[in-house]
Structure 1
């Protein structure tokens, strides 16, 4: 087995990033990570189950679970990337078995591929703060917080994280886990709360007040811009942080209602919010209060969030209005 490259080997002599394989490149975060790698002078290789229309980088169609680890091992040995970013996985409102497959089985496949390849890139795995136990309101989650998730999503993400950390501890992978808070910005999923709010605003008749129907907005969450998230990934590609878990967030709990109001302001059209139990299916996340302690990210990655939440809302709206108008429905969840 070839030795893992040292962090300095993840860059060319002139300091630029080299080739980076992005798993889940068709997703919200994967697209932004790919763009950030390219902007930093690196070469992103986009891996997704289907070819990506309009991709500006090389796309390699690959079904990570269906094709098994050997296909990814061959890709790593052929392309010899400096790093792999695992941005693949399933999100809320999926069947528990789907989340288990996408958030745990897929991770085991990636780790088996890394172990089977002769080339050893750094792995940056994207976890979730929903892996933690629900904290008391006012408590900032740091990396020492207990991991007792209360949802199938959090449980499946924690299984993936544990697999990555075990592989790192056993020397089977040079890996780091970034536990992400609520990521927002351009490309936010249309099925998310803010994605559905954007859809309702777009569907309103011109010149008339929009009615935004949502389930009760009681939660406060730590929101982080997808551009800041991509910057954290870039830092983790090259810093000596193997075997670590690092929380990524803004470090503040923001009422979900205020984010809805920011998005309405970004849309620039009159709107009123109607909250009600029947306005949407509320998915119990177990984390109605979320604030992330960011000291580890600052210390190990030299990273902190730079983009304002107003900017995040404006980017979300800009991207939403660039897409064809969807058929609207009530928000599926607060997340």
Structure 2
């Protein structure tokens, strides 16, 4: 289906439009009056060449926000490798640009204090990271050979409205809001010392539009450029929900956090292309809690109560 735009520009094909980040991309496109085309529900890897030709007909770009963060090796490979490969094959028959959402999980473990650069050796520590890296390598090769115009945006940890409880931030938002309502004395989590580069999902969507309309190609990091303990995020959510009890860190820890205790992206390529993140961590937490769904970006010079 195609969403009606307020302008006559050719639509952007968005894969995964019904997901957390895909929905943010659709909202950003429509806010700019741009048309959006979304394939019908179903297994996109089962689409025929004719389907792809029809979906790509008269489009101005393609965004691949589809994929899986968990599942069996077969499921991860099908969603995170096979689908991007098919998208590459289809876009190679056109002159439209592809923007693919990759993941900082592709980098794997990095030394504390190190900001991961796009040319760092990638050594993922999970099947998810490995599957995402495989797609990125395919895209890099297609760009190098001149077969496509494409950018693979390596995202850090996106935060925002609609993030599910299957993630620690999503679960923390739900549990702390409930604990505040019920006047609970404690909320229990695993260790919260791992440091992460959190980025607002709206800045991710803005970066997607920037990549579509700019000369950016190849791998490009998208994040905040800051590493924060996950504890900061939980404490910020507690403050915003009004939870005044104790946050315990005595539940079993996440193996994923233990494998990668530190994450921070070097944003030199992105910033050098003229893009500037607009949203603060507090903005992201408010959106995650749905406290101010219509709010815009904060002034970065203004003090923030979330550290």
Q: TM-score, normalised by structure 2?
A: 0.87
Of 245, 250, 259 in structure 1, the residue corresponding to residue 219 of structure 2 is 245
- Partner Cα distance (1:320, 1:102) in 2: 33
Structure 1 equivalent of residue 289 of structure 2: 317
- Partner Cα distance (2:66, 2:109) in 1: 24
Residues 62 and 71 from structure 1, CA distance in 2 versus in 1: closer, same or farther, beyond 3 angstroms?
A: farther
Unpaired runs of 5+ residues, structure 2, are 1-6, 294-307
- Partner Cα distance (2:290, 2:108) in 1: 35
Residues 124 and 285 from structure 1, CA distance in 2 versus in 1: closer, same or farther, beyond 3 angstroms?
A: farther
1:23 aligns with 2:29: no
Q: Please give the secondary structure, in 2, of the residue aligned with 1:61.
A: coil
Matches within 5 A, 1:93-242: 93-115=70-92, 117=93, 119-204=94-179, 206-209=181-184, 211-242=186-217
Q: Is the 8 A contact 1:197 1:212 kept in 2?
A: no
Per the TM alignment, residue 153 of structure 1 is displaced from its structure 2 partner at its CA by 0.9
Residues 67 and 320 from structure 1, CA distance in 2 versus in 1: closer, same or farther, beyond 3 angstroms?
A: farther
- Partner Cα distance (2:51, 2:182) in 1: 54
Of 263, 286, 289 in structure 2, the residue corresponding to residue 290 of structure 1 is 263
Q: Is the 8 A contact 1:87 1:125 kept in 2?
A: yes
Residues 16 and 286 from structure 1, CA distance in 2 versus in 1: closer, same or farther, beyond 3 angstroms?
A: farther
Q: Please give the secondary structure, in 2, of the residue aligned with 1:144.
A: coil
Structure 2 equivalent of residue 327 of structure 1: none
Structure 2 equivalent of residue 257 of structure 1: 231
RMSD: 2.2
1:75 aligns with 2:49: no
Residues 150 and 207 from structure 1, CA distance in 2 versus in 1: closer, same or farther, beyond 3 angstroms?
A: closer
- Partner Cα distance (1:254, 1:205) in 2: 24
- Partner Cα distance (1:205, 1:217) in 2: 20
Q: Residue deviations 1:218-241, cap 9 Å, x none?
A: 200100000111111111001112
Q: Is the 8 A contact 1:151 1:284 kept in 2?
A: no
Residues 171 and 196 from structure 1, CA distance in 2 versus in 1: closer, same or farther, beyond 3 angstroms?
A: same
Q: Is the 8 A contact 2:176 2:237 kept in 1?
A: no
- Partner Cα distance (1:158, 1:17) in 2: 33
Per the TM alignment, residue 17 of structure 1 is displaced from its structure 2 partner at its CA by 5.9
Per the TM alignment, residue 284 of structure 1 is displaced from its structure 2 partner at its CA by 5.0
Q: Please give the secondary structure, in 1, of the residue aligned with 2:44.
A: coil
1:65 aligns with 2:37: no
Q: Residue deviations 1:6-29, cap 9 Å, x none?
A: xxxxxxxxx996411110001111
Per the TM alignment, residue 272 of structure 1 is displaced from its structure 2 partner at its CA by 2.2
Q: Is the 8 A contact 1:294 1:304 kept in 2?
A: no
Residues 219 and 132 from structure 1, CA distance in 2 versus in 1: closer, same or farther, beyond 3 angstroms?
A: same
Q: Residue deviations 1:259-285, cap 9 Å, x none?
A: 01111122123332111243x654356
Structure 2 equivalent of residue 32 of structure 1: 24
Per the TM alignment, residue 189 of structure 1 is displaced from its structure 2 partner at its CA by 2.0
Residues 104 and 197 from structure 1, CA distance in 2 versus in 1: closer, same or farther, beyond 3 angstroms?
A: same
Structure 2 equivalent of residue 10 of structure 1: none
